[in-house]
Structure 1
Amino acid sequence: MKVLKFGGTSVGSSKNINSVISILENYSKNESVVCVVSAVGGITDKLLLAGKQAQDKDAAYNDTFNFICDKHLEIINELTPLKGQSIIAFVNQRLNELKNLLDGIFLINELSPKTSDKLVSFGEILSSYIIGETLVKRGLSASCKNSQELIVTNSNFTKAEVDYEVTNKNISDYFYSASSKITILPGFVAKSITGEQTTLGRGGSDFTAAIVASALKVDSLEIWTDVSGMYTTNPKLVKHAYPIDKISYQEAMELSHFGAKVLYPPTVQPVLDLNIPIHIKNTLDPEAAGTIISNEIVNTSQPVKGISNISKISLLTLQGSGMIGIPGFSKRLFETLSQEKINVILITQASSEHSICLGINEADAVKAKVAIDDAFSNEIALHKIDPIIVENELSIVALVGDNMKNHQGISGKMFSALGKNNINIRAIAQGASEKNISVVIAEKHVKKALNTLHEQFFEAKTKQLNVFITGVGNVGEKLVEQIKQQHNYLKKNLKINLRVAGLSNSRKMIFNESGIDLSNWKEQLANGEKASLQGFFEGTKALNLRNSIFVDVTANYDVAKLYEKYLRESIGVVACNKIACASDFENYKLLKTLSLKYNAPYLFETNVGAGLPIIDTLNNLIASGDQVTSIHAVLSGSLNFVFNNFNDKTKFYDVVKQAGDEGYTEPDPRIDLSGVDVARKILILARESGVEMNLEDIKNDPFLSEAGFKSDTVDDFYETLIADEAHYQSLYASAKANNCQLKYVAQFNEGKASVGLQEIPEGHPFYNLQGSDNIVMFYTKRYANQPMIIKGAGAGADVTASGLFADIIRIGND
């Protein structure tokens, strides 16, 4: 004999009920089947709502009642369009009884627990009758038996306790002589010894099925729901969650207690006592393997079996120096909550005995505070303890697994993963059995926490990075294309799943929590919402994705000002924008501090040398204990391009214009030609070497003509280049006469820095620097005579994008 239970979703529509019927028909070909059914999906809530409305003298209970009627009649007409009159007659009779009950509640405006049980029992009674009679009308050997005639309880209404001796005998006697191949039973409902209608409480239909399964001592109990078993975590919040093949009773109970909805812990007790396995199956996908719950402890290399959570939690904290060394505080606290019928979900106490923290349902928080403050009013008045502290909008997240106790470092990995994503832990609880590690966190971080922990413990060590890029012009477009091109390579070889979750230019911005489709990102962006810098920050923050990285591909001062906000939200920052790192030293220092404090990487390799590993090399030298004595560098690919192409046969204006057209200069070429850009770069290198310095401390020897240096607009500047051609030709002529090359050089030596145009003689490392290449020479204590030299392309969209990409990958490998 098989015992199957189908939940509310499984019987929530005629379509789903037809799936149930197909499953029952298939099973009954080989053996007898007992089928326990819940109320039609959502009906129990509607019955409770109607009762509350009637109690409150709200005439809207009539509308709720009509909805209940229409829902059931609709299902009957769809299941048995031509043969349903007898079913409708019975259902209408029951619905009339329901209406009379609601009218009575309305008249006396009272809804006792006893009446509530009578009210909600209509749901299962109606669904079981409809399904049973539909089976009969389709020619199957089926009958419907009222569970109230089998299951006997005490009179503890809304959560009655079962008299197993009487109940087991009733069930055994009935099914010993039952002739139908399929027997339909309503779940949840029972009757007291005195004949009053009772219910079995939350998860009551599962409980009914477990009671029947244990009484009949079947081989297994099957619970059919709308998911394919118990998942590693909530699949609605974590897309990579997957069904667990096998799980122990204890693991299942832990997961269910902490929010896994497919099973309610007390319901498994009858089958647990007899070691009857429970098989969780999917009504809408009967061929799926599902999850088998048994007393078998599956020894696998995966110590964590699942991650679960409970939302809408309040954390109560009782604290005070008067608690230390005084026995009885805990007893009084828990007795107070027990008297108020408030369930305690989580407990943690400091070894100092200075405080006790309790997790309860948020709905009970106000009642709990009033009761506890009243119970301890004397101690509060004497300042021995503080009034109870209540924190709301919290959630409990729990790691569960029988084998966690045999693996070191589980809690460390859990706390580290959450910490790196700025998820603050408010309380921690771990039992001595080590089957469960629970933490209390802010409700707003639940989705990020579940995804972070699932990635840590269940995914093939693939780290997901969520990138938000602002500035998708020349360099930004190249970066997006590089990410698109290398996505599969990164996932396969570096175990990095890189997704672009946000894009913005000066006009439009778009977000996609699951990652933007990069095959048509330009079209999506063109149709996006209106862009704003603050809006892009708020959008990134609101998504609250793990391992989020903001990428600044602009030269915008206002964008740089937002780095602080991103870092404070534990959102990493990758920037080619030099403004922040070259700003006031206190701001530079603040950003570095925030990066460490909030575990948010702040990388800016492309600030100096585009894609060249200049800053990374410098950081490695410093970290290894070396000390920089001086730096000599050509750091402007733009200026190097200009002076490599300028001669007595060209016009300075034409060369500068060409550099701008090819993307070597900023849109405003004065930033490059004034030396400000190079000054910022040597400033950044000096700071990364450990020197406190500001931009005004750097000596800048300009080569521009006076008119060019003082020009008000870009157009005016270009006009001065034409007018002052003789000035620039004189610079070239001087260098040529001395057999030298013109190079714009940055120097840092003995705590001082300078930038300016120099005539470089033949034989010098800078002399043959071609195109837009950069070169940096680090003189250190270890490299005192022969410097460490880094040389290569230092400008251009492709190499700058690759430098940004490298910083992103560096974060992924961290």
Structure 2
Amino acid sequence: MVRVLKFGGTSVSNSENIERVRSIVKTIEQQSKSLVVVVSALSGVTNALASAVKSTLEGEEDYKNPVREIEHRHFELIRNLFPIHNQSAIIGSVKQEINKIEVLLEGISLLSEATPKTMDKVLGYGEIMSSYIISEYFKNKGMDAILENSKAYIITNSDFGNARVDFDQTNRKLKKLFDKKSHKITVMPGFIACNSLGETTTLGRGGSDYTAAISARVVGASELQIWTDVSGIFTANPKLVRQAKPISKISYEEAMELSYFGAKVIYPPTLQPVMDGNIPVLIKNTFEPNAEGTLITSKGADTLNFVTGITHIESISLLTLEGSGMVGIIGTSKRFFGVLSNKNINVKLITQASSEHSICIAIDKKDAQKAKEIIDIEFAEEIRSSIIMPSQIRANQTIVAVVGEGMRNHQGLSGQIFSTLGRNNVNVVAIAQGSSERNISAVISEVDIEKAVNSLHESFFEEDIKQLNLFITGVGNVGKRLLEQIERQSTYVKDYFRINLRVIALSNTKKMYFSKNAIDLSNWHKTLEEKGEPADCNLFFEKVNKYNKRNSVFIDNTASPDIASIYNMYLKESISVVTCNKIACSSDYENYKELKRLSVSRHASLLFETNVGAALPIIDTLKNLMASGDKITEIHAVLSGSLNFVFNNFNEKNPFFEVVRQAQKEGFTEPDPRIDLSGIDVARKMLILMRESGYKMNIEDIQNIPFLPKKSLETDSIETFFKTLEAESKYFEKMYADARATNCRLKYVASFKDGKAKVGIQKVSQEHPFYNLEGKDNIVLFFTKRYSEQPLIVKGAGAGADVTASGIFADIMRVGNLN
């Protein structure tokens, strides 16, 4: 049984890691007839060599500094790996390679030119030095190892930088090498090869994987193992998606799609040789050798999940050519792609309108300007004739791809993909789907990639757990209780409702604080106070938008008109809004309708159950009545828990002003109790109910019958307001006495009938449903076509920070269940 093992740059980056590699090789050696070990350069060395060439070309005096650093790093590695008496010979051999690099750099300096052939020669020294040191280390540890130079066996053409392998010659040479092998372990440098003239070529970045795959094919390996710094191919890039997990088993085709579209664990060309030989590929983690890893075979995993992984390619530009001069013209596509091919510009994605009016391609950002220039030259005649427009570049794009063998012939996946992106305000610029149906790709703006990949991963892999990212402004009485409820209930909500609540930002009137991840709610007061920046509602929106989180929810626990005025900005960005602030929904009717329209068109919830009755399901009940086709004919309601508390506790023993102050202290009124006692708060609530009932009304359409003395209504401060209430005690005592004299109670009532609405104090008799309404309770009587004789009644606590917070919490849960 022959196995081929490849170790990447991170796996051999230092002495500690190389010892890990030796231990892994030793373990596998005991289970195998022989091993081929392919190694990369030490991590960062290839980039350092390229940097040395760049410094040389730019005429920098210290252009050899990167080489000196490379030399120091390799010498230090040798000193850490080998006994002193073995070091000098190995250091001497490595020094010879360093000298060759310096000679090449001197030549580049003299000529002020670095040809692709020279670049390949320089870049290949990293693998030459690492493979030599590792093979010597194996021998020093008593392992039966020998070093073979890949350049002697892997033959390519002369496309320096990304050479193509001549498999006939390569197979012949490698077969001859391995047929006569007497050593159990053969160490080979990856990445490098040579052409028929003996000149060094390279196989492209990631070419060490390719070297290993070619060797595995020739020796008929039982398995190719790619050892890297991650535990296999993941369902998405774990740097972007924290919930990403390794894929245990996938097919060659799935792995090829994922690697091509950005999964950097394996180099795409690697898979063709092993596919031809039906050789399994195992991706393993050098730093967690006991982790399962990913097995790549001809047949993927048997799973109910139709999607295997989500990946993406960054730094993409879209180039579009369009015009009537393309319609029905044979050879247009040939010219378009031919000129790109001649200039070695790789096309990553193609989409063409069925009308043949346009062709759109995705290419590397670095190739965009060159591609535009050559396309415009190729079609210069048609552009001059205005039958084709000059090509257009759309920069800063990313391709996101959903890949899976099970996607073939499975209905509804495209809809799930694009509805998920749409709900999160991710604009899809272009779409492509291969006939194999293993891949659906979309081009999106690069600023949306984290949100897009996380949204898709959540949709396909996270066991129906939805993550809601909460941005909360207002952390006073209601906001504080809401945070307590979120902290207390988050585990329960995740376990039983499959919703993961994460508070990302907090704001009060003075400071605001944003976190890339969830804020620790056990210590949020201190975090906001010590780390917060000055609060600004417009800047808060800009930061929410910039964070660009999936399933974002903006929560307004204030009574601020400034904050209410920018709900439309959140909704336009598909950010849901949950609010107890009544100002927006009781503002001008056209603004109210625009908010509702934006909510629908942008797939963002606008929920305001707590605008009327705190946590009572008043608005929800009303919506259900309307949705079922019923019609509201009358409403009679006590809608102010604060006013009900005041009038229930006001009597000859408890002066009016003291009861109002108590209500304010206990959080039953707005911070400014004038809002409650003026009737404007109840009028707003009634207006919201009218609008939700389908009536086009504004606040001035509701008759507000004041009960406060004129002096109290005209005060310019809260303290002055209380002084006038105390001064007018006789007025309130008479109001109470008049009601009691007729066996009535005072209730602040909102009513709607015959198209007219009003709010004001009423004397309620003992027979009335409102008479026994206690404490801070609210009650609403809905008369409808169906409930024409006996009303539908909603009754319960309608004020208080705890119940209001619970209503907001319920709306947040609705967002999670709706989206």
TM-score range, shorter chain: over 0.9
Deviations 1:688-731 (Å, cap 9, x if unpaired)? Answer: 11222221222111110111111111111010011000111111
Between the aligned partners of 2:792 and 2:165, the Cα distance in structure 1 is 82
2:423 maps to which residue? 420
- C-alpha deviation, 1:356, in angstroms: 1.2
Deviations 1:278-326 (Å, cap 9, x if unpaired)? Answer: 1111111111111111111433211111111001111111111222222
8 Å contact kept, 1:508–1:527 = no
Deviations 1:80-124 (Å, cap 9, x if unpaired)? Answer: 262322211111111011011011101101111111111111111
Moved more, 602-611 or 269-278: 269-278
8 Å contact kept, 1:299–1:403 = no
Corresponding letter in the other structure for 1:787:
P
Q: Is residue 2:649 matched to residue 1:645?
A: yes
Residues 256-655 of structure 1 aligned to structure 2 (within 5 Å): 256-532=259-535, 533-655=537-659
Between the aligned partners of 2:193 and 2:503, the Cα distance in structure 1 is 55
Between the aligned partners of 2:621 and 2:534, the Cα distance in structure 1 is 37
Partner-residue secondary structure (3-state), 1:21: helix
Residues 655-804 of structure 1 aligned to structure 2 (within 5 Å): 655-804=659-808
Deviations 1:247-292 (Å, cap 9, x if unpaired)? Answer: 1110000001100001122122111111111111111111111111
Partner-residue secondary structure (3-state), 2:10: coil
Deviations 1:789-812 (Å, cap 9, x if unpaired)? Answer: 111000001110010000000111
1:185 maps to which residue? 188
Q: 1:78 to 1:506 in 2, by over 3 A?
A: farther
- C-alpha deviation, 1:160, in angstroms: 2.2
Between the aligned partners of 1:14 and 1:689, the Cα distance in structure 2 is 74
Deviations 1:357-384 (Å, cap 9, x if unpaired)? Answer: 1011111111111111111111111111
Partner-residue secondary structure (3-state), 2:768: coil
Moved more, 10-19 or 227-236: 10-19
Between the aligned partners of 2:197 and 2:344, the Cα distance in structure 1 is 26
- C-alpha deviation, 1:59, in angstroms: 3.0
Moved more, 443-452 or 560-569: 560-569
- C-alpha deviation, 1:675, in angstroms: 0.5
1:57 maps to which residue? 59
Between the aligned partners of 1:363 and 1:522, the Cα distance in structure 2 is 47
Which of 158, 161, 165 is residue 168 of structure 2 equivalent to? 165
Corresponding letter in the other structure for 1:13:
N
Moved more, 136-145 or 597-606: 136-145
8 Å contact kept, 1:504–1:531 = no
TM-score with structure 1 setting the length: 0.98
Which of 47, 50, 53 is residue 48 of structure 1 equivalent to? 50
Between the aligned partners of 2:37 and 2:353, the Cα distance in structure 1 is 49
Stretches of structure 1 lacking an aligned partner (at least 5 in a row): none
Between the aligned partners of 1:387 and 1:59, the Cα distance in structure 2 is 44
Residues 234-253 of structure 1 aligned to structure 2 (within 5 Å): 234-253=237-256
Which of 124, 127, 132 is residue 130 of structure 2 equivalent to? 127
Q: Is residue 2:68 matched to residue 1:66?
A: yes
Q: Count the aligned residue pairs.
A: 814
Stretches of structure 2 lacking an aligned partner (at least 5 in a row): none
Deviations 1:753-796 (Å, cap 9, x if unpaired)? Answer: 21111111111111111000001111111111211111100000
Corresponding letter in the other structure for 1:51:
V
Between the aligned partners of 1:43 and 1:91, the Cα distance in structure 2 is 14
Between the aligned partners of 1:74 and 1:467, the Cα distance in structure 2 is 50
Moved more, 800-809 or 329-338: 329-338
Between the aligned partners of 1:283 and 1:440, the Cα distance in structure 2 is 34
8 Å contact kept, 1:160–1:200 = yes
TM-score with structure 2 setting the length: 0.98
Partner-residue secondary structure (3-state), 1:269: helix
Moved more, 152-161 or 239-248: 152-161
Corresponding letter in the other structure for 1:24:
V
8 Å contact kept, 1:641–1:771 = yes
Partner-residue secondary structure (3-state), 2:110: helix
- C-alpha deviation, 1:78, in angstroms: 2.3
- C-alpha deviation, 1:146, in angstroms: 1.1
Between the aligned partners of 2:602 and 2:365, the Cα distance in structure 1 is 29
- C-alpha deviation, 1:169, in angstroms: 2.7
Q: Is residue 2:103 matched to residue 1:100?
A: yes
Partner-residue secondary structure (3-state), 1:477: helix
Between the aligned partners of 1:268 and 1:486, the Cα distance in structure 2 is 48
Between the aligned partners of 2:231 and 2:566, the Cα distance in structure 1 is 45
- C-alpha deviation, 1:433, in angstroms: 1.4
Partner-residue secondary structure (3-state), 1:159: coil
8 Å contact kept, 1:395–1:446 = yes
- C-alpha deviation, 1:472, in angstroms: 1.0
Q: Percent identity?
A: 56
The runs of 4+ residues in structure 1 deviating greater than 3 Å are none
Moved more, 698-707 or 747-756: 747-756
8 Å contact kept, 1:505–1:531 = no
Partner-residue secondary structure (3-state), 1:426: strand
Partner-residue secondary structure (3-state), 2:764: strand
Partner-residue secondary structure (3-state), 1:519: helix
Between the aligned partners of 2:61 and 2:568, the Cα distance in structure 1 is 55
8 Å contact kept, 1:556–1:577 = yes
Partner-residue secondary structure (3-state), 1:582: coil
Corresponding letter in the other structure for 1:652:
F
Corresponding letter in the other structure for 2:90:
I
1:142 maps to which residue? 145
- C-alpha deviation, 1:60, in angstroms: 4.2
Between the aligned partners of 2:499 and 2:106, the Cα distance in structure 1 is 62
Partner-residue secondary structure (3-state), 1:423: coil
